[in-house]
Chain A
Amino acid sequence: MLNMRIIKKLLTGSAIALGLATSALAAGGGVAWDKAPNRISDMGSLQNGAKLFVNYCLNCHSAAFMRYTRLQDIGLTQDQIKNSLLVTDSKIGDTMVASLAPKQATEFFGKNPPDLTVIARSRAGANGTGADYLYTYMRTFYRDDNSPTGWNNLVFPNVGMPHVLWELQGERRAVMDHETHAFKGWEQVTPGSMSAAEYDHAVGDLVNYLQWMAEPAQTTRQIIGAWVLVFLAGLSFLTWRLNKAYWKDIT
């Protein structure tokens, strides 16, 4: 009983101390990230995301650890992959390599665009998941005449990448407060081929695909995990009873 009291004291004490330390250190700044929609088991969304990815991202970025064949996991057949997604001269067993050669990309953008295979896992942080970051990033490009590409971004200021989806979203300007330089809102300059809601939905699909591609086994992992936990809960019950039965004799 004494031990329980000590443990309780330790726990409350440390919780308070950690709470104080956290609030003292809570760092402000940066743009809040929007919550990305979770459609990880929606095959239609993943397939649409894969299409957007191959058409827009794969020109400059690679996903060098991701094999085309793995797209069968999101409900595509080998023929579908070959006919509509294999735009480069890659084979279906190959990994996704950018059309643009790294050397040329470095000349264009100043550095080789990062590999996107696990980008959704690497961009998580205090503001949200990696998917939240990407969802916000792809929706906060704006026209900026001072930048070399003519584009800038709210969550990634002075980004080297131009807005590849600008035809879908249209051109926008960011309205900034004159004194604080804080972001106030958007001003649509030219219309895109999609409405704002359609665009958000499309980016949601793209990010959903990136999230899936970062760990294709994630859905399987959770399904197996549920069964493993059911088994271990049963095992814990049995071993608890076994332990009780043996310890009856100890007085």
Chain B
Amino acid sequence: MAEFHEISPNASLGEKTLNWVDNRFPLSKLFKEHMSEYYAPKNFNIWYIFGSLSLLVLVIQIVTGIFLVMHYKPDAALAFASVEYIMRDVPWGWLIRYMHSTGASAFFVLVYLHMFRGLMYGSYRKPRELVWLFGCGIFLALMAEAFMGYLLPWGQMSYWGAQVIVNLFSAIPFIGPDLALLIRGDFVVGDATLNRFFSFHVIAVPLVLLGLVVAHIIALHEVGSNNPDGVEIKATKDANGKPLDGIPFHPYYSVHDIFGVSVFLFVFSAIVFFAPEMGGYFLEYNNFIPADPFQTPLHIAPVWYFTPFYTLLRAVTTELMYVLQACVAVGAVLAVVKGKLPMVFKAGIVGAAVVIIAMMHSIDPKFWGVVAMGGGVVILFFLPWLDNSPVKSIRYRPDWHKYLYALFVVNFLVIGYLGTQPVSDIAGRISQAGTLFYFGFFLLMPWWSRLGTFKPVPSRVTFTPH
């Protein structure tokens, strides 16, 4: 509780106004804490721009979304026409709509890059686990937001994409069919589905998203940012208690971010104005055909940002289940033979492995495909506890770790690409290899992240003035 602060009667009107506010609301205090006296490491590189840019895109999505809702009709009979009405008859409607549709894809590009930055520099390691968890929550909410938003234009891809994904839930044993019914509000995707998705897309999920973003930033500002060296700048402070390698966020990183925003907006506008369909990846061609429940498109593919996870789903076949069962068995045997655990735990591991293998054998692979798809996202939440590397940043890890990360990125792009393509024998095999690699990367991380010769981490950040 701050004391009431009197100001000299000779002060300017601006100072008086600020003082009046500060005595009633911590305006200057908040600005100092989060901007002018928030110390960020001075060695940030280009990878550190994607967080602020994601925030910018969130604002773009909310503002354009508000204007779209003014003209959009959440009604199965009117939705498609209302989108075309926005594109044609609403002044500047085409711009607002393209900004929103391009914004959705841009959001995922930025968030994927932002997450990969965290992966490279170990930004999820102690004490930043909660920053990472809130971030994963944001990613999950974003996926829900995008999925439900994609139904709203009510084109063929909207309709059949939703139909396929919601049907997946019915593969869950016991509750599945009722759960799918609850999500759709009907036995097939229809007007009821459109209405509830609209409600979730414009109210429920954005509220959750905003809450999580605030939590993400508060947690970040509490612990301070990590940096490309993975060095804790708070460990080396000057006489005033300021980190020696830290610089005030404002003005240094605010000018950085303004520059980043300008360049990003240039690229974003180039897409909005010259390639809003982005070759069928941002706006799918089939989605210019109104939804027709009686005509299934030949090839149903989710929008590009879901395709890596869609591949995880499709890769799980009866055959792959045998491989996965073998993996569980080998894992259990290794844990029993190699692990220095009490007998009770070992017995527990064997018991659990037997139960899991039995379940894998008896439940439809379709269900396990859903588990793989969900698991592909959920596993990210566990990253802080999977990584046992003695250093945070990839800079001081053994070289082969870098190649492994490179392989992870290549694999992610390949399974992403395969998710856009129709199934074929070769593609199926590559998808399965990609799926095993994806999960192997994370599940074996507690083991491999410790291996190799690590380089010494400097006590101060490496920085060349520019």
Contact = CB atoms under 8 A, between A and B. Distances in A.
Contacts of A2: 395
29 contacts: A3-B45, A3-B47, A6-B402, A9-B402, A9-B406, A13-B407, A17-B413, A24-B427, A25-B418, A25-B421, A65-B85, A67-B89, A70-B88, A114-B289, A117-B84, A118-B84, A122-B287, A123-B285, A214-B288, A217-B94, A226-B273, A229-B270, A232-B265, A236-B259, A240-B259, A242-B258, A242-B259, A243-B258, A250-B252
B269 A65 contact: no
A125 interface: yes
A101 interface: no
Contact of B94 (A3, A114, A221): A221
Nearest to B268: A232
Interface in A198-244: 214-217, 221-222, 224-226, 228-229, 232-233, 235-236, 238-240, 242-243
Interface string A98-142: 000000000000000011011101111100001000000000000
B17 to A, nearest CB: 27
Contacts of B280: 124-125
A43 to B, nearest CB: 19
Nearest to B420: A25
Using C-beta atoms within 8 Å of the partner chain, give the interface range for chain B: 35 or more
Given A6-B120, A14-B413, A121-B285, 14 more contacts: A9-B403, A13-B406, A13-B410, A18-B414, A22-B417, A25-B418, A70-B88, A217-B87, A224-B95, A225-B272, A238-B262, A240-B259, A242-B258, A247-B255
B301 interface: no
A132 to B, nearest CB: 12
A110 to B, nearest CB: 13
B430 interface: yes
A65 B88 contact: yes
Interface in A1-43: 2-3, 6, 9-10, 13-14, 17-18, 21-22, 24-25, 27
Contacts, number: 141
Contact of B288 (A121, A236, A243): A121
Interface residues of A, number: 54
Interface of B: 42, 45, 47, 81, 84-85, 87-89, 94-95, 98, 120, 228, 247, 251-252, 255-256, 258-259, 261-263, 265-266, 269-270, 272-274, 276-277, 280, 285-290, 394-395, 402-403, 405-407, 409-410, 413-414, 417-418, 421-422, 424, 426-427, 430, 465-466
Nearest to B429: A24
B313 to A, nearest CB: 18
A243 B88 CA distance: 40
B87 A228 contact: no
Contact of A221 (B261, B266, B273, B465): B273
Contacts of A114: 289
Contacts of A225: 269-270, 272-274
